[in-house]
Chains A and B, each alone.
Chain A
Amino acid sequence: MDTFTMDRMIIPVWEWSNALNLIAHKFPYRYKDFAQSISRHHWQHKSNLVEQISMINTHESPVVYVLGSWYGAVLVPLLMHHIPDIKKLYLFDYDPEALEICYTLHERYNHIIKRQLVDVNFEIDKLKSYEEQPNIVINTSCESMWNMNDLLLGPNVLHALQGNNFPETSHINAVPNMDIFKSRCGLTDIMYENEKPYDVDSAHTMYTLIGINHE
């Protein structure tokens, strides 16, 4: 039992201490990257996404896949808070160091988290072969991946997808508008859609879609 204040904090930020120590000790060149991962716009877009998922989702004890999970710094605690009965949370990323930091960052949830070193662009069939298939798939970095309509993981799976038009070399699939984002996502039943400024004072846009592909 912690204090009244700590018990009511959605994000146990004091537990980040170990992860920050790990970064300082072993991966000092990543501190800026980690700082970026918890910047305001990530909280804004990801909390909106998870809040919407929690209202739309009808699966009990869902299995959740996160494609391109990075550190999961924002998404993991939000998911655990808003969908507390998650059965298993699979985090897929091609960055082994990010996954190592992620392990320390989310120690309290490690009993239900399974991390996989995967480049989703090239190994989607590997994900499709897993015995435990997802009820919910989240991809908050569609701009860095191949079109989601080729990466969808089965019918009746709730897909929550975000992409943007922010110009950056790693954004190999930036989308100019919502219509194109929809066409690249391939969801046949869209339950939520939204476009918001990418960041405060940003001229760029974050596109969000939540829905199902019935085909």
Chain B
Amino acid sequence: MNRVSVLCSLWGNKYSVDYVNKLYNMVKKNCPMPFDFYCQTDHDGLLPQIERIDFDSELPESTPHEMQASDNYINGLPRLWDRPKLNYWKPKCWGIDGIKIAFDIDVLILNNLEPIFEQYFAQDKAFTGRSWWHNMEHEALPQWRRRYGARNNGGFYMWQDHQVKGIWDDLIENYKFIYFCFHGGSDNFISTRHLDKFAFVSHEHMYSFNRGVKWPDDLAMWQYRPEKIICVFNTDVGYPLHKDIHNSSEAFPWIKEYWQ
């Protein structure tokens, strides 16, 4: 039977290994296929079932240390601040091949991932979350394009290397310009230059805790939606109504039931 490789990344001090360990537990509970779980990090304290992998350094200025040390900052953050996640697109990175899944470490998995896997296999295309909760009229505006606005949500990716051919070559060739232009993060990069390589997880399976399910009719915040599979906690910096998963779990006991 096929195995799937689950990837995540942890750097800096905003999050702890606890997030990774909880993610592992949620995957273990809900993954319909045998899996290996990897975390790209230099932190200690991972569960023994998690294989720690080093920050790949082929992509220039992509390790947390290099990123922090550069003077390429905007709004207090390094431009394209989540560069370590770009290593996911390197073919056979860390010697990992086959079907891969990448999660952000602050997602919640509510139910078995099987329907998402079925959708992925049926389409034979790389897979990511779509920001269905975005105001699509805003997305159509020229200003959205001008600021290289994101349309996908990178809290979840599922792919095989042959389905994302070209992303890594683009990064190696244009990293200097990519870091500079897509200062909002890797989702902006994927959305602007490579979105045609991806199909999207249905809004029936994925939602945002802070933004809802689908524009324009279902945008209620902070909802418990037990029928969904993945819940992301994307926040706008400085917006007090957006809650991260840690604070949410204090305020909403149901989150703790899943996030452990």
For chain A, the count of residues having a C-beta within 8 Å of the partner chain is 16
Known contacts A172-B74, A172-B183: A144-B146 contact under CB 8 Å = yes
When the two chains form their complex, are residues A33 and B177 in contact, meaning their CB atoms are under 8 A apart? no
Q: Does A170 contact B (CB under 8 A)?
A: yes
When the two chains form their complex, are residues B142 and A97 in contact, meaning their CB atoms are under 8 A apart? yes
Q: Does B113 contact A (CB under 8 A)?
A: no
Report how far A172 CA is from B184 CA in the complex, Å.
10
When the two chains form their complex, are residues A122 and B140 in contact, meaning their CB atoms are under 8 A apart? no
Report how far A30 CA is from B143 CA in the complex, Å.
9
The residue of chain B having its C-beta at the shortest distance from the C-beta of A98 within the complex is: B142
Report how far A39 CA is from B134 CA in the complex, Å.
29
Residues A86-109 near B (CB distance < 8 A): 94-95, 97-98
Q: Does A146 contact B (CB under 8 A)?
A: yes
Q: Which residues of B contact A173 (CB under 8 A)?
A: 180
When the two chains form their complex, are residues B180 and A146 in contact, meaning their CB atoms are under 8 A apart? yes
Encoded as 1 (CB less than 8 Å from any B CB) or 0, chain A from 95 to 139 comes to 101100000000000000000000001100000000000000000
Q: Which residues of A contact B140 (CB under 8 A)?
A: 29
Known contacts A122-B174, A169-B147, A170-B147: A146-B181 contact under CB 8 Å = yes
When the two chains form their complex, are residues B74 and A33 in contact, meaning their CB atoms are under 8 A apart? no
When the two chains form their complex, are residues B143 and A122 in contact, meaning their CB atoms are under 8 A apart? no
The residue of chain A having its C-beta at the shortest distance from the C-beta of B182 within the complex is: A172
Report how far A94 CA is from B193 CA in the complex, Å.
12
A residues apposed to B, CB below 8 Å: 29-30, 33, 94-95, 97-98, 121-122, 144, 146, 168-170, 172-173
In the complex, 7 of the A-B residue pairs with CB atoms within 8 angstroms, ordered by the A residue number, are A30-B141, A30-B142, A97-B142, A146-B176, A146-B180, A172-B181, A173-B180
